């Protein structure tokens, strides 16, 4: 008998290997196999990690190109509602808004109407020195203020280097829009386009402008000078409330023409429920406006422009404060 064998005496009287020894050897083999698998897995993982580390060093990381963030999270109350002038809009009564346009050429004449006993609104250009003061003057009088945005050049080519026009990159177009809005200040409710050129038919440019206005919670009053303009159709789906002007009292016109434009707006409001008049400030137009305010009847309510736009969005019975 070998020294390393453990004899077990069976029923026949012969010595046989022990059953316990066989079980012990089986357990040992099982444990050894598990340990071997664990070691192989650890070594393999370490080699894989080294390979990944080496490959990562060979791959050059390139950040994605910067994008322009034109839309910010909407505030609880958008600016066109938060800065709206208080007004009780009768649900069943037509509303008419008058927006006086002050491009800096006749500012004293435009500003004289701030304290008139009428809820007029004022759109003021940002490209002359005292424009922020004018807007603050309008707001302190309890009137609604808007920015007058040049979407093209004036007939004399203008003096504003920040005209919003076609051919600009999205970044530059957005910079110019923000420049005008920043000059106007925090208290404006929206904008009115001026000298509308072919940019009003440019879908890409209008998307950038619309996103910028929507980010500020602002409305838009379209001058409707271009019959092919896409301004309203493009801005509304972007969340910008838009009202299109009904008539315009042009600078340099006659008193009769100015008065006729105001009367035509009244007829439109009486028929359709709302109307918006743009008045380019000069001596004749402001005099005609003053006389019309004194002579008009009470069948149509004169309202701040935000309340007219609100009714356009919600219907005749939805324009409530």
pLDDT value of position 32: 52
Q: How far apart are CA 33 and CA 249, in angstroms?
A: 96
In this structure, are residues 115 and 143 in contact, taking their beta carbons and an 8 Å threshold?
A: no
Is the CA virtual torsion 49, 51, 55, 58 positive or negative?
Answer: positive
pLDDT band at 158 (very low <50, low <70, confident <90, very high): low
Residue 140 has pLDDT above 60, yes or no: yes
Statement: residue 196 has pLDDT above 70:
yes
Q: What is the per-residue pLDDT for 73?
A: 40
- Domains parsed from the chain with CATH numbers: 1-61 (no CATH), 79-314 (3.20.20.370)
pLDDT at 208: 97
Phi and psi for 195 in degrees, rounded to 5? 55, 45
Q: Give the residue, 285 or 89, on which the prediction is more confident.
A: 285
Of the listed ranges 1-15, 65-79, 157-171, 211-225, the one predicted with least confidence:
1-15
Global confidence as pTM? 0.74
The confidence band for 160, taking pLDDT boundaries of 50, 70 and 90, is: low
39 has a pLDDT exceeding 70: no
**What confidence score (pLDDT) does residue 308 get?**
96
- 112/224: higher pLDDT: 112
Average pLDDT score over residue span 182-195: 92
Predicted confidence at residue 117, as pLDDT, reads: 93
Looking at the chain, the number of H-run helices and the number of E-run strands are: 10, 11
pLDDT at 280 over 90: yes
Above 70 in pLDDT, residue 31? Answer: no
Cα gap 263→274, rounded to integer Å:
13
Digit-coded pLDDT (tens) for 103-133: 988 999 999 999 999 999 999 998 777 888 8
Confidence of residue 157 (pLDDT cuts 50, 70, 90): low
143 in Cβ contact with 117 (< 8 Å): no
| 287-318 per-position pLDDT tens digit | 999 999 999 988 999 999 999 999 987 654 44
Q: What is the greatest pairwise CA distance in the chain?
A: 140
pLDDT digits (tens, 9 = 90+) for 73-110: 445 889 999 999 999 988 889 999 999 999 988 999 99
- Average of per-residue pLDDT values in the chain: 80
pLDDT of residue 313: 74
pLDDT (0 to 100) of residue 129? 74
Single out the residue of 203, 202, 176, 201 nearest to residue 191, CA to CA.
Answer: 176
Residue 5: predicted pLDDT? 44
The model's confidence at residue 68, banded by pLDDT at 50, 70 and 90, is: very low
Neighbouring C-beta atoms of residue 3, cutoff 10 Å: 4
Name the residue among 110, 146, 99, 96 with its Cα closest to residue 287: 110
Structure-model confidence comparison of residues 185 and 198, the more confident one: 198
């Amino acid at each position: 008998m070998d020294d390393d064998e453990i004899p077990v005496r069976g029923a026949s009287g012969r010595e046989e290997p022990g059953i316990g020894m066989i079980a012990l050897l089986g357990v040992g083999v099982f444990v050894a196999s598990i340990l071997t698998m664990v070691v192989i897995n650890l070594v393999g993982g370490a080699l894989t990690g080294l390979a990944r580390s080496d490959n990562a060093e060979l791959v050059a990381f390139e950040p994605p190109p910067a994008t322009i963030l034109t839309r910010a999270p909407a505030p609880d109350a958008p600016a066109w509602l938060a800065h709206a002038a208080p007004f009780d809009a009768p649900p069943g009564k037509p509303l008419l808004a008058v927006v006086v346009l002050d491009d800096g050429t006749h500012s004293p004449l435009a500003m004289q109407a701030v304290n008139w006993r009428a809820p007029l609104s004022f759109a003021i250009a940002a490209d002359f020195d005292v424009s922020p003061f004018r807007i603050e003057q309008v707001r302190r009088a309890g009137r609604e203020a808007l920015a007058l945005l040049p979407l093209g050049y004036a007939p004399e080519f203008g003096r504003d280097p920040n005209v919003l026009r076609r051919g600009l990159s999205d970044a530059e177009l957005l910079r110019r829009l923000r420049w005008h809005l920043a000059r106007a200040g925090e208290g404006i409710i929206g904008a009115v386009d001026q000298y509308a050129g072919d940019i009003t038919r440019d879908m890409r440019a209008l998307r950038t402008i619309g996103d910028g206005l929507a980010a500020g919670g602002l409305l838009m009053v379209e001058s409707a000078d271009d019959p092919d303009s896409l301004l309203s159709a493009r801005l509304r789906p972007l969340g910008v409330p838009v009202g299109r002007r009904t008539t315009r009292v042009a600078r340099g016109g006659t008193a009769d023409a100015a008065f006729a434009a105001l009367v035509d707006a009244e007829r439109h409001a009486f028929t359709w429920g709302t109307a918006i008049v743009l008045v380019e400030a000069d001596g004749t137009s402001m005099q005609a406006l003053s006389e019309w305010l004194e002579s008009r009847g009470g069948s149509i309510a004169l309202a701040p422009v935000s309340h007219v736009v609100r009714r356009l969005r919600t219907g005749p019975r939805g324009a409530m404060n």
